[in-house]
Structures are given as structure tokens and as C-alpha cells.
A and B are shown apart, each in its own frame.
Chain A
Amino acid sequence: MRINPSIVIGLGSSGCHVVANLERIIYEVVGETRLDLFRLISLDTDTRAKDDEPPPCGKRSVSYSAHSPDTGQAIRDLTQKLGDDFSWCPPRLTIEGEGAGNLRAGGRLLLFDHFARILSMIRDAALDVRTAAMHGETARLLHDQLERRGIPPVDNLIHPTQTVVYVVGTLAGGTCSGMCVDLGYAIRNVAPEAERIGMFLLPDRNEAPAYLENTWATLKDLEYFCDNPSSFRSVWISEAGAKVRYQADSVLPYNYAYLLSPTNEAGVLRMPYHASSDSPLVVMASMQLAACLFGMRSHISASHVNLQNQVQTKPKNRFFLNANLRAVSYPKYEISEGAACRMIDEKVCARWLNRDNYMSTAGVVPIDEDKAQGVGRNHWNDHFNAIWEGLGADVDIKQHVGGFLRKTATRPDANLLHQITSPNQGTIYSQVAAKLRDRREKLQLMIKGGLGRVFEDSQNVRCAELYLQGVKAELENTVRFWNAVGTPARGDQDSWSSRARSLVQEATGKQRLLSWALAAREELLTEEFGKIVTRLQMYLMTQTLSEVLAWIDTDLTSWLGTLRRSVEAVQDIAANRRRSIAARMMEVNGPILKIGRSRTESLQVEIEELGNAEPHFDRPLLASLDGNFTGIFAVKERPGPNDNRQIFINLKNALQPARLRALEDKGHVDLVTQIRNEGRTSQVVDHFKDAQAMSLATRIGLKKSPAAVPSFVLGVSQDSARLIMEEMRTVMGNPPVAVPQPLPMFDHMVLFYQEGACSVQPEEEYQSIPDVLSDANIYREHFNSKMKMQSDSLDPLAGMKTTASSTSSGARQ
């Protein structure tokens, strides 16, 4: 077994779902180890957010949006650059809706519009994986993984020169069906040494007509270029904007194209498809890709040598293949995910939402409302003074007192009155007023800072609400005190002028003789002037405090409400996810059969036990930093539609890795023994038979003999695979017809993999591969009726086929 440097390109929404699920499986296999040997690229034209979740180590695939908001402009630009070479594109092509609008011409147009960047991405990826394959560090990481599984180092584990590029997507929509042919040749152009594998999902016969039309058109195109391998030629645009002419040199669009459908060979719906990464067909495709990445490809390549020998008639007989895969798995990922969901539901969200208790370092503490409000009161009282004093920091009272005593102004009293009532530049009034905005920001910062600390200490929304009530009460006290000492309302300049006059008179006339006698005149005036400035501060600051109060009442209180609702929503998401995981554990019809660790401990119990641990986060879930809330629970004031889900994902990703490690620390699960102990051998046999029943209905049946095509039972070792086959024999009577193969990286799984070749012989009724599909008539009817109405958007490669046909017919003549 050898591992190839590989690139997986997911085309369109379905391809992206496959890549997302593949990332999850890779995480399940190697954990947080970063393997640069693989590059995953999601290439979509649909900009709508998908519900795919990144694995806990974070999203490592590269997503590229091949979206062009103005199709008309894109057509004009490409027409200008390519001239007649762009004549394949209908000049009035309009893409309605998202993505490529289910139009093949739309998909091809968007590929052309983004061609240079897409090609550069693939070129870079090819270079990266080749470099990683030759780097000793990659081999060391893989050997570490094997060692962790108790497997001795394997010589030449990596095949550094044989890069494999997988292109996966559905032929139903416009993106993959419009791009896949060009992309196959484009990959050949930038990475000629790479093996190119297409993995195309076919729609169910009951899907929308546009899906069936696109599928048929693409299958016929792929077949055409198999039959006429030198016909493909295209003119693309390089990164420098120059034309790139490509002429296929007797090569097929891909080395192999796997056609996967939701039905089995008998036409029975087995792997339903829906636009989600947990759709059975998507899970199966991603499992197949994951197995190929981690070594199954080398087994397949070896077996394909037989295919070359057995199916020698036409290239297309070796080109179109079907594959089917089923797995029996100890679901490490789901168990750890379920446990993380339990912790989010019961230990994180429930504590944050608890109205009676909160968690402190000492354990569960009942919430004392007065004490919690006291935290807010104390915070205000501890910090308000410093902010308040800063308001008059620019006022030099001693200078004003000195001027007053030296009588620098002709009327010192009037001058002082002017200083504290006039907003003109340079007056005391203007100096204080200039600081107001800054003080408001500092007050908000101070309140948010305290709130952040409450969140850090209590991890409870109720405590934060009470803190805020405490702050508000103290703020209102301050305003009341200012009112009590006769501070006029802000904006009432007349009242302030009158009050200021009396303050000046009082200050300058106070203890005039006594203070002189006690040599305390300057000292007294300094104090009295300070009092006047304080009153001025109160007068000016009343509005600021009103603004801060309004900010608490509206922004902050509403934000706390949003936080509470978000945490409730996250709790619901976690609880629902936990239920759906529990339901999935019981499924026996999906592509993966789940087996527990022991007979006595069900998967559900294992989830519950694993979820008993105390949640630990590296950073506080909510804290305040420089006036901004940070952390996973730092919700926006107006959350977006996916924000709560993103919070859930972040929480899950923070908790799941530790749960997965804890699970792995429990040791390796011997699947064969467990299957036997749990009495599930018959279910395993059903899965094996399901795998052998293929995933494509054809009229002539598929070649699936192990002598012709890959037909494997894959275990952690060949012996392990043999053991499972032996166990199956006890139910089947005969030994299963498949080749046991090792797949050591999948130590928690047994895989059943079956390929089928669709061979048409000259003497047979069907000369075309697409014609042998059971649903061919339905596909063809829809295609033909569409072609009568609008052929140019459905068949953007028609020009190559027409010219090639006329050339060849001309040559014949």
C-alpha cells in the first residue's frame, strides 16, 4: 500500500459538500496532524452559505467562489479577449438564480471567467503536494500515525511522483456539468504527470428536467471525447490575460470517471442525495475519496492493470466506471461530537442561562441578587471618580486663581463668570466640554470592562444582568446627587448662567477677611474655583450620563437579551444535534454501519459518559478587551442568520478534540470481535452485499469480478480483513467474493469497496455507454426536447464536436 500526493477538487455545491465531509473524515483519521500531502479545493459558483461544518482543527480546504455578479459584463470581457474562440457562449446567456443557473454554458462561462485563478490554484496545489511528498516530515507524520496504531513503519509509504487529482461533483447542476470536461484537460495541461479521476454523481430519474438534461449532455460529451481523444481544443485565458490554446493530444478528459447514483444496479434507491454533507450519497463519495487518499488508490491502481487486460475494446470501456462503498465503523467522530454536544447543552449553555446559580472556581454558588448588583455598584464607585476627574484635567485652576488675585483682568469676577459660561475657545467651559466625548467613551469602556470580568468570573448571563442593574443604580444616584446640589439641566444655559453668577459671587466673597487673616486666601480661592469647575463639570456631564444611561438601557440591555437568546439557540442546536447523532448511531441502512466498543456499553452510553467531563476552554467564552467583547459568546448586536450555528460550531470545535483524544486513549476497538459479540454479523453481510450491488442501474449489468475490477474488503491489516471475511462466511455460507486488502490508517473501520466496469462490445445492442444506463431513455428524452428549444446553453462544446465530425467526414471523403 502506498499513499499518493493528492488533490481533491469539489465542483459545485455537491462537490463542496463532498469536500467538507472528506475534511471531517480526514480529521477522524489523523486528528489535528496537518498533512500537506493532500490539498482540498472547493470550487463553487453559488455564493449562498452552506451548512457544512469545518472539523475541529479548522477548515483546511481552500474555497474559491467562481461567481460573476454581472454575467453580461463577463461575456463582453471574454468576447473582447477571445474573439471568435468564445463563440460557443450564447451572447445573450443569462444566469437566473444562484450559481451557474443549472446551465452548462453558464458553468463553462464562469470557468472561463475565473480560469487563470483556478488554474493557478491547481498548479500551486500540485506543486505543494509533490513537495510535501518528497519532504521527510510528511513521511514522519504518517509513520507516527501508523505507530500510534501499533503498525511498524512501512518502506516507501509515499509515492512521491504519482500525483492524483480527483474532481468530484454532480452532473445535474450547471457548475460541474459545464466545467468538468475543460477542467479535466486543464489539469492535464498544468500537471501532465497527474492521474485524473472524475467522480460524478448522477441525479435520480425523478429529479427536475434540467438536471437530467445536463447529466445526459455531459455524459455524451465525456463519451465523445473518449471516442475522439484528439478533438478537444479550447482557448483559455492565462493569468497575464493572454490566450492559452489547448489541443488535446490523444488523451481522455480523465483517466477514469466514476458514475455514482442514488440507486443500486437493480434501480432501488439506496443512497439518497440531498444538498448536504450528511446526505448518504455524499457520505459514500467522501468515504471513497478518503479511503483513496489514505492508500486504497494504490490497491485500485494495481487492480486496474487487470481491467486494462480484460476490457480491451474501447477506451471508454475503461473510462466509465462505477464504484460503491460501505463501511463498518466504530464512530469515533460522532461519539466525540455527541459528547461535545452534551457538554455544550448541559454544562456550558445551561450554566450560562441558569437564573439561580452560577459556577465559580469553588463550585456551584447560588446567585445573591444584592451581592451581584453590588459588584456593579462597586465597579462604578471604584472607577467613576478617575474618569470624572479627568474631565477637568485641562483646567489650570492655580493659573486662574493667580490671575484673580493679581487682578490681571479689569473685572476679575466678570472674567471668571465668562470663563465658566462661555463656550468660546480657551475658556474653562470649552476645555471641559472638549473632554465630554472622551469621558463618555471611557465610561462605556469601564462598564463593558466590568461586564467582561463578570462574564469571566461567573459565566452566567443573570449575573451580568444584575451587574448592569447595579451600575445603573449607581449612575442614577450620581445624577440624583447632582440634581440635589442644584445642577441645572444640560442645555438650560440661562439657568446655568444664573447659577454660575451666584457661584462666582459666593466663591469670591467667601471668608474674604478670615482667609486673609489666616493666610489662606489663595488656598481658599483654589478650593472655591475648583468647586465652580466641579459644578460646571456636573452641568456639562449630566447629558453624558443620560447618554450612558440610555446606552445601558438600549444597547447593552438589548445586547444581553441577544446574548441570552443566542445561548438558548445554541443550546437547542446542541440538543438537536445530540438527538440526531443518537438517531444516526442506530441506522443500519446508511453507508456506514456503526459498532460500539463493548456489548454492555452502547454507543449512546459511551456518548453520555464521555460528555460527563468538565468543559475546558483555552480562553474565556466572553471577555472584554479594549471595549470590545471577545470570545466565542461575543455575539453581535444584530446577529446574522448563521451566527448562532457558528457559535455552536466554535464551541464544538473547542471541546471535541479533547473528547476524541479521551476516546482514543481508551484503546483500539477490535471490530471483528465486537461484530461477533454484538451479533451483528448479518448486518455486516447486508452491508457487504449492498456494496456489491453497485450504485448505478444499467441494462447490461456491470463487470465486478475481482479478477477484472477492484473488489475489496479493507481492514487495518490484511489479516484483519481476512478475519472479517471469515466471520461473514459464517452467515453467507460461502466466503465473500472480494480481495482482502490492508488500509492501516482506517483502524476504526472495515470497508467494502466494489467497482463495476461498463463494457460495451461491438456485437452488443448498445454501442454507447450512456445508453446502457437504465435511466438513459428518460435522460435522452429530456435532453432531446431541450435541444429542440435551446441547444446552445445545454451543449457548449457542440462546436468542437461538429468541426471534428466534419473534419473526419471530410477526411473520409
Chain B
Amino acid sequence: MEDLTTTYKHLLISPELVPSIPAFLLATVELLAFGIVIGWFAAHFAKMVIDVEQLGISNRNTFAVSWAAIVLAAAAMIDVAVLLILDRVPGWSAVSPHAAFAVIMGVIAIVGGLIVRSELRQYRIYAESAETGRLVR
């Protein structure tokens, strides 16, 4: 447990230069594992906040995950910014896991958003096609 705490202190408070790709991958996975735990809480919070009447259950779930991903990506970028201000970044490779994490979260958020948008758009197209008489099949 102490090792885990030490590992995340290193990663989030005083990152060190990443010497190799395996070390980068390991650090990114560690961040993702941490992000999943935090993201779970964030998604739950989002699930409670989002209006289910507007989106439906599945879209709400997707949207909650997207929202959590955005929150995590933003948190990662804020951490990098704080570390830079405190001059705790010895080199760019030290925050490369943060960047990878933020990109992954961003992709998750974008994909989720696109899924929700696509579903909503599909129903709007159905309704409009019914109005205009042009069938969409």
C-alpha cells in the first residue's frame, strides 16, 4: 500500500523523467487505473445529475462516462500546469504519461459524445423525414 502511495506521489506531485517506453507505458497504465477509480465516482455523480428524461438511460450512461472522462482529462492537465508552476517538471518526458492519459480521456469523451449525438440525431431525422414524407430506411 505504501509502495502504491509512493508511486502515485511520484506520478502526480514530483514526476521524474521517463527513461524508456516501457516505463512510459507503465506510468500511463498506473494513471489510467487511478483515473478509473476517480472516474467511477465522477460518472456516478454525473449519472445523478443528468436529466434522464431528455436522453434515456443508455445515452445518460454514455454521457456520464464522457463527462467523467472530460473531468479526468482536465484534472490531468491542471496537475501538469501546477507542476510546471512549482517547477517540479524536470523534463517533458516526466509529464508524458499525463498527456497520454488526457488524450485517452479526451478520446473517450469525444467518442461518447459522438455516440449520444448520433442516436439523438437519428431520431430527429426519423421525425423530420416523417414530417416531410421522405422515408429514411
Residues of A within 8 A of B (CB): 476-478, 480-481, 483-486, 510-511, 514-515, 517-520, 523-524, 526-528
Tell me, in angstroms, the Cα distance from A514 to B68 when the chains sit together.
Answer: 13
Q: Is the CB of A481 within 8 A of B57?
A: no
Chain A residues with CB under 8 Å of B57's CB are 515, 520, 523-524, 526-528
- Say yes or no: A514-B61 contact (C-beta < 8 A), given A480-B135, A483-B137: yes
Query: What secondary structure prevails in chain B residues at the interface with A?
Result: helix
Residue B126 lies at the interface, judged by CB distance under 8 Å to chain A: yes
Which of A476, A481, A484, A518 is in CB contact (< 8 Å) with B61?
A: A518
Give the shortest distance, in Å, between A498 (CB) and chain B (any CB): 15
Chain B residues with CB under 8 Å of A520's CB are 47, 57, 61
Chain B residues with CB under 8 Å of A510's CB are 58
The closest CB in chain B to the CB of A522 belongs to: B57
Q: Is the CB of A485 within 8 A of B126?
A: yes
B interface bracket (residues with beta carbon within 8 Å of A): 20 to 34
Q: Quick one: which of B98-137 are within 8 Å of A by CB? A: 125-127, 129-131, 133, 135-137
Q: Is the CB of A481 within 8 A of B137?
A: no
Chain A residues with CB under 8 Å of B137's CB are 483-484, 486
Tell me, in angstroms, the Cα distance from A517 to B58 when the chains sit together.
Answer: 13
Tell me, in angstroms, the Cα distance from A61 to B44 when the chains sit together.
Answer: 83
Residues of B within 8 A of A (CB): 40, 43-44, 47, 56-58, 61-62, 64-65, 125-127, 129-131, 133, 135-137
Q: Nearest 5 pairs between A and B by C-beta?
A: A481-B130, A480-B130, A527-B57, A484-B126, A524-B57
Tell me, in angstroms, the Cα distance from A520 to B64 when the chains sit together.
Answer: 12
Q: Is the CB of B58 within 8 A of A524?
A: yes
Chain A residues with CB under 8 Å of B126's CB are 481, 484-485
Give the shortest distance, in Å, between B108 (CB) and chain A (any CB): 11
Tell me, in angstroms, the Cα distance from A486 to B58 when the chains sit together.
Answer: 20
Q: Add 12 more A-B contacts to A477-B131, A527-B58 (CB < 8 A).
A: A476-B133, A480-B129, A480-B130, A480-B133, A481-B127, A483-B137, A484-B129, A484-B136, A518-B44, A520-B61, A523-B57, A528-B57
The closest CB in chain A to the CB of B129 belongs to: A484
29 A/B residue pairs, CB under 8 Å, sorted by A: A476-B133, A478-B130, A480-B130, A481-B127, A483-B137, A484-B125, A484-B126, A484-B130, A485-B126, A486-B137, A510-B58, A511-B62, A514-B62, A515-B58, A515-B61, A517-B43, A518-B44, A518-B61, A518-B64, A519-B44, A520-B47, A520-B57, A520-B61, A524-B58, A524-B61, A526-B57, A527-B56, A527-B57, A528-B57
Q: Is the CB of B44 within 8 A of A528?
A: no
Give the shortest distance, in Å, between A517 (CB) and chain B (any CB): 7
Give the shortest distance, in Å, between A506 (CB) and chain B (any CB): 10
Chain A residues with CB under 8 Å of B40's CB are 517
Chain B residues with CB under 8 Å of A519's CB are 44
The closest CB in chain B to the CB of A485 belongs to: B126
Give the shortest distance, in Å, between A337 (CB) and chain B (any CB): 53
Tell me, in angstroms, the Cα distance from A513 to B67 when the chains sit together.
Answer: 18
Q: Is the CB of A511 within 8 A of B130?
A: no
Give the shortest distance, in Å, between A488 (CB) and chain B (any CB): 11
Tell me, in angstroms, the Cα distance from A694 to B131 when the chains sit together.
Answer: 80
- Say yes or no: A511-B61 contact (C-beta < 8 A), given A477-B130, A518-B43: yes
Chain A residues with CB under 8 Å of B65's CB are 514
Give the shortest distance, in Å, between A388 (CB) and chain B (any CB): 15
Chain B residues with CB under 8 Å of A518's CB are 43-44, 47, 61, 64
Pair count A-B, CB < 8 A: 54
Give the shortest distance, in Å, between B33 (CB) and chain A (any CB): 15
Tell me, in angstroms, the Cα distance from A519 to B43 when the chains sit together.
Answer: 11
Tell me, in angstroms, the Cα distance from A663 to B133 when the chains sit together.
Answer: 59
Tell me, in angstroms, the Cα distance from A483 to B137 when the chains sit together.
Answer: 8
Chain B residues with CB under 8 Å of A485's CB are 126
Give the shortest distance, in Å, between B77 (CB) and chain A (any CB): 25
Chain A residues with CB under 8 Å of B62's CB are 511, 514
Tell me, in angstroms, the Cα distance from A477 to B134 when the chains sit together.
Answer: 10
The closest CB in chain A to the CB of B125 belongs to: A484
Tell me, in angstroms, the Cα distance from A481 to B58 when the chains sit together.
Answer: 22
Tell me, in angstroms, the Cα distance from A484 to B123 when the chains sit together.
Answer: 9
Tell me, in angstroms, the Cα distance from A480 to B58 when the chains sit together.
Answer: 25
Give the shortest distance, in Å, between B64 (CB) and chain A (any CB): 7
Chain A residues with CB under 8 Å of B43's CB are 517-518
Chain B residues with CB under 8 Å of A476's CB are 133
Tell me, in angstroms, the Cα distance from A256 to B58 when the chains sit together.
Answer: 98
Tell me, in angstroms, the Cα distance from A485 to B135 when the chains sit together.
Answer: 9
Tell me, in angstroms, the Cα distance from A515 to B43 when the chains sit together.
Answer: 11
The closest CB in chain B to the CB of A510 belongs to: B58
Give the shortest distance, in Å, between A736 (CB) and chain B (any CB): 84
Tell me, in angstroms, the Cα distance from A480 to B127 when the chains sit together.
Answer: 9
Tell me, in angstroms, the Cα distance from A510 to B58 when the chains sit together.
Answer: 8
The closest CB in chain B to the CB of A479 belongs to: B130
Chain B residues with CB under 8 Å of A480's CB are 129-130, 133, 135
Chain B residues with CB under 8 Å of A514's CB are 61-62, 65
Give the shortest distance, in Å, between B124 (CB) and chain A (any CB): 11
Chain B residues with CB under 8 Å of A478's CB are 130
Tell me, in angstroms, the Cα distance from A511 to B62 when the chains sit together.
Answer: 9
Tell me, in angstroms, the Cα distance from A518 to B126 when the chains sit together.
Answer: 30
Give the shortest distance, in Å, between A645 (CB) and chain B (any CB): 45
Tell me, in angstroms, the Cα distance from A221 to B135 when the chains sit together.
Answer: 87
Which of B47, B58, B129, B130 is in CB contact (< 8 Å) with A528?
A: B58
Chain B residues with CB under 8 Å of A515's CB are 57-58, 61
Tell me, in angstroms, the Cα distance from A514 to B56 when the chains sit together.
Answer: 15
The closest CB in chain B to the CB of A524 belongs to: B57
Tell me, in angstroms, the Cα distance from A481 to B126 when the chains sit together.
Answer: 6
Chain B residues with CB under 8 Å of A481's CB are 126-127, 129-130
The closest CB in chain A to the CB of B64 belongs to: A518
Tell me, in angstroms, the Cα distance from A168 to B83 when the chains sit together.
Answer: 121
Tell me, in angstroms, the Cα distance from A523 to B48 when the chains sit together.
Answer: 13
* Most A C-beta atoms less than 10 A away, residue of B58, B62, B126, B129: B58
Tell me, in angstroms, the Cα distance from A510 to B56 when the chains sit together.
Answer: 13
Give the shortest distance, in Å, between A6 (CB) and chain B (any CB): 72
Chain A residues with CB under 8 Å of B125's CB are 484
Q: Is the CB of B61 within 8 A of A483?
A: no
Chain B residues with CB under 8 Å of A484's CB are 125-126, 129-130, 135-137
Tell me, in angstroms, the Cα distance from A327 to B8 when the chains sit together.
Answer: 121
Tell me, in angstroms, the Cα distance from A476 to B133 when the chains sit together.
Answer: 9
- Say yes or no: A483-B56 contact (C-beta < 8 A), given A478-B130, A514-B65, A518-B64: no
* Most B C-beta atoms less than 10 A away, residue of A517, A518, A526: A518
Give the shortest distance, in Å, between B35 (CB) and chain A (any CB): 14
Tell me, in angstroms, the Cα distance from A483 to B126 when the chains sit together.
Answer: 9
Tell me, in angstroms, the Cα distance from A476 to B57 when the chains sit together.
Answer: 29
Tell me, in angstroms, the Cα distance from A192 to B100 when the chains sit together.
Answer: 122
The closest CB in chain A to the CB of B40 belongs to: A517
Tell me, in angstroms, the Cα distance from A528 to B64 when the chains sit together.
Answer: 18
Give the shortest distance, in Å, between B20 (CB) and chain A (any CB): 33
Chain A residues with CB under 8 Å of B56's CB are 527
* Most B C-beta atoms less than 10 A away, residue of A484, A510, A517: A484
Give the shortest distance, in Å, between B43 (CB) and chain A (any CB): 6
Chain A residues with CB under 8 Å of B131's CB are 477
Tell me, in angstroms, the Cα distance from A480 to B43 when the chains sit together.
Answer: 37
The closest CB in chain B to the CB of A531 belongs to: B56
Chain A residues with CB under 8 Å of B58's CB are 510-511, 515, 524, 527-528
Give the shortest distance, in Å, between B32 (CB) and chain A (any CB): 15
Tell me, in angstroms, the Cα distance from A193 to B120 when the chains sit together.
Answer: 93
Chain A residues with CB under 8 Å of B64's CB are 518
